């Protein structure tokens, strides 16, 4: 699997490229940047050919798949161009700033028989499989509630996450993680019933928000996200006989040993899960889908996940719109 990178972003430096080097059968071929010096600097560190300009990389015959870590407001354009150039696409989240754009990209990938994947690496960490096993085994009884939160400290001035023209804001940067977690555990039949978004009038982006969702079996779903608080990254299930809580779930380091807290009948039990490398796992998953000729990351249900995640973010935005004055 021969990879090209569209944009020498920080996440490519810290996460993607080091992980790619450890994936068997994957090779970095080229790195593109608008800055020739930045492309050369990345190539000196990670290998591959430095390329000036994203279009020139897409024209290369020796690139099978591209990684797109560009800001959310630019992703749709270059994902679309990559698919039209016949490249498989592994892109940072969200694929686009709206559901209609994601639906269009999914249709294009299917039509071109190409794999398109939105990088929520966290779902590929083994701790979540263990959580599913415990829930299925009835450890906390019938699930009645689910709460998930992802929040980060304030961003520095000029950060791309604070620029509306680049798709900035808390919902698209961190809010999509709790949404994806709800889909992972509760299925696609979710509906936003209420939401709030607090905007910064000067910056023109939302900085903190929350949403309440409903499921067909009446599980109470509450999601929180923001860019103005201390770091928070976790979820909790409330059941008829107890609760299950996990912290540090969205950006879990490879050396971290996750702890699942089970509480039932006044007894608290700590279950430690083995460390895992979610970035390596997600890249192996992507390359496996490409080599098995799986368009859009799988069957119709996987394409549906991409669209439903985007639709739910749209619903949060629509419900939270009246709070612009907040």
pLDDT digits (tens, 9 = 90+) for 90-146: 999 999 999 999 999 999 999 999 999 999 999 999 999 999 999 999 999 999 999
Supply the pLDDT for residue 292: 83
Is there a catalytic annotation at residue 93? yes
Q: Which of 87, 93, 107, 191 is catalytic?
A: 93
Using alpha carbons, list the distances in angstroms from residue 64 to 59, 93, 270, 281, 322: 11, 21, 44, 19, 45
> To the nearest 10°, the Cα dihedral for 293, 294, 295, 301?
170
Supply the pLDDT for residue 40: 97
Supply the pLDDT for residue 299: 46
Supply the pLDDT for residue 265: 82
Query: CA–CA separation, 101 vs 83, rounded Å?
Result: 14
Supply the pLDDT for residue 298: 46
Spatial neighbors of 183 by CB under 8 A, at least 6 apart, are 190, 305, 308, 309, 312
Cβ(237)–Cβ(186) under 8 Å? no
Supply the pLDDT for residue 322: 55
Q: How much is the pTM? A: 0.95
Q: What are phi and psi of 255, to 5 degrees?
A: -90, -5
Query: CA–CA separation, 106 vs 100, rounded Å?
Result: 10
Supply the pLDDT for residue 291: 87
Residues of the chain with pLDDT under 50: 297-300, 324-326
């Amino acid at each position: 699997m021969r990879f090209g990178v569209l944009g020498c972003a920080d996440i490519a430096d810290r996460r993607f490229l080091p992980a790619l080097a450890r994936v068997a059968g994957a090779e970095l071929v080229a790195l593109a940047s608008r800055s020739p010096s930045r492309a050369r600097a990345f190539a000196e560190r990670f290998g591959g050919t430095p390329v000036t300009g994203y279009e020139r990389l897409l024209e290369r015959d020796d690139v099978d798949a591209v990684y797109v870590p560009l800001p959310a407001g630019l992703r749709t354009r270059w994902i679309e161009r990559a698919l039209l150039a016949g490249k498989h696409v592994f892109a940072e989240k969200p694929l686009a700033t709206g559901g209609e754009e994601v639906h269009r990209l999914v249709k294009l990938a299917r039509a071109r028989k190409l794999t398109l994947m939105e990088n929520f690496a966290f779902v590929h960490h083994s701790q979540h499989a263990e959580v599913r096993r415990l829930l299925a085994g009835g450890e906390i009884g019938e699930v009645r509630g689910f709460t998930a939160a992802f929040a980060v400290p304030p961003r520095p001035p000029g950060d791309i996450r604070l620029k509306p023209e680049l798709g900035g804001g808390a919902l698209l940067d961190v809010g999509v993680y709790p949404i994806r977690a709800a889909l992972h555990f509760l299925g696609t039949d979710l509906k936003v019933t209420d939401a709030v978004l607090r905007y910064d009038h000067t910056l023109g982006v939302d900085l903190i928000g929350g949403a309440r969702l409903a499921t067909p079996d009446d599980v109470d779903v509450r999601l929180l996200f923001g860019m103005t608080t201390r770091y928070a990254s976790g979820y909790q299930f409330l059941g008829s006989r107890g609760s299950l809580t996990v912290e540090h779930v969205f950006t879990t380091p490879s050396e971290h040993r996750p702890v699942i807290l089970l509480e039932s009948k006044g007894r608290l039990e700590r279950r430690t899960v083995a460390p895992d490398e979610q970035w390596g796992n997600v890249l192996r998953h992507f390359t496996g889908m490409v080599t098995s000729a799986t368009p859009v990351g799988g069957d119709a249900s996987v394409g549906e996940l991409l669209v439903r995640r985007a639709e739910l973010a749209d619903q949060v935005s629509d419900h939270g719109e009246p709070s612009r004055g907040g």
